[in-house]
Amino acid sequence: MNSRLDFICPPPKQNVLKKLLEAKKCFKLICGAGNENLEEVEKLVALYAKAGCRFFDLCASEEVLKSAQKGLDFAIPKVEQKDYHFCVSIGTENDPHFNKVTINQKDCKRCEKCIKICPQNAISQYFKVIEKNCIGCLKCQKVCKHDAILTVRLNPHPTNSLLFTLHSSLSCIELHVCDKTDADEKWDYLCENFNGILSICLGRGKFSNEQVLSLVRRLIEKREPYTTIIQADGSPMSGGEDDFNTTLQAVAMAELIQSANLPVYLTLSGGTNSKTAQLAKLCGVDFHGVAVGSYARKIVKEYIEREDFWTNKAIFEDASKIAANLIQSTFTPTSISIHH
């Protein structure tokens, strides 16, 4: 990771993304750092673009970006696409977003618990993991009583040549930081090579409040003001439910980052849902955007899986209304009442 490559993000693209963040209406759809299901990505991007999403977080793969572009082409005329942005992620060494799983057939008792809980339909009826669908959420591992599900680490750093190939389609590159192992080295690499917006998806991991803030301050020192997004990551890949509890940690993390008063854009992720903005406002967190993954995918899953998804206009419209409601909920939180 030493050679300088100068990934030049077209400046107009960068400025459009900044405007979106400054308007505090930056909803980002997280397709999944490890989600290589091309059909799902294409459908999700088409649907959420139509519903008003302009920022998409994708697996760093040429094929995935091509599928995302196809989805965007379906929903949005070419002349308007400068307002839409793709982002890919790089992980630090232990980042959970770069896991996949495999099933040890000798230990598997065929109880089907993993199949039922998997949000990605990534486990076949023959108890084999469909790798391209697996996003490494480890929900299956938690329900397996027989320790039959093993974690497989992906390489969290796309190669220089892959980033070089992808960079012209990107407005943003994100570094997932969950510990200190190699965060500084990777951040330096991105700062030196990519001139678009950079994002730090910051999970608490084993950090104390002081450690989180000192790490952020150190990383931000290398950046011009307002060229960085800090994405406060609550509990990574814990989403799926639409309640306050799931999104609590993301809001707490955002509140901590906000207290440092840095010249950055602040967004929330990890367990985010339609309640995130309400809770954040209630806690006095002033954010620029919300990134939603599991919950955003879950609410349109039944539509995405339909064979007539591309041809049945009514189905597409219905699904995009559901997506639009979620996006809207992250812009204009209504007042919240808590009953005891």
Two tokens at 214?
């000192």
Q: Does 148 bind ligand SF4 (CB under 6 A)?
A: yes
Among 59, 122, 177, 327, binds ligand SF4 (CB under 6 A): 122
How many residues interact with ligand SF4 (rule CB under 6 A)?
Answer: 27
In terms of residues, how long is the chain? Answer: 340
By CB under 6 A, the residues from 94 to 113 that bind ligand SF4 are 101, 103, 108-113
Question: Judged by CB, which is closer to ligand SF4: 112, or 305?
Answer: 112
Q: Does 26 bind ligand SF4 (CB under 6 A)?
A: no
Question: Judged by CB, which is closer to ligand SF4: 26, or 137?
Answer: 137
Two tokens at 89?
């992620």
Taking the C-alpha atoms of residue 86 and residue 42, their distance in angstroms, rounded to an integer, is 13
Two tokens at 3?
């050679």
Span near ligand SF4 by CB under 6 A; candidates 50-58, 135-143, 223-231, 324-332: 135-143
By CB under 6 A, the residues from 162 to 221 that bind ligand SF4 are none
Q: In angstroms, what is the minimal distance from the CB of 216 to ligand SF4?
A: 29
3-state secondary structure 3-27: CCCCECCCHHHHHHHHHHHHCCCEE
Q: Does 44 bind ligand SF4 (CB under 6 A)?
A: no
* Cβ–Cβ < 8 Å for 116, 140: no
3-state helix, strand, coil in the chain (%, to 5): 45, 20, 40
Two tokens at 321?
């209304």
Question: Judged by CB, which is closer to ligand SF4: 87, or 138?
Answer: 138
Among 47, 87, 90, 138, binds ligand SF4 (CB under 6 A): 138
231 forms beta bridges with 201, 267
Q: Does 116 bind ligand SF4 (CB under 6 A)?
A: no
Q: Within a 10 A sphere around the Cβ of 81, how many other Cβ atoms?
A: 15
Q: Does 118 bind ligand SF4 (CB under 6 A)?
A: yes
Taking the C-alpha atoms of residue 175 and residue 275, their distance in angstroms, rounded to an integer, is 26
Applying CB under 6 A, which residues contact ligand SF4? 101, 103, 108-114, 118, 120, 122-123, 127, 129, 134-140, 143-144, 146, 148-149
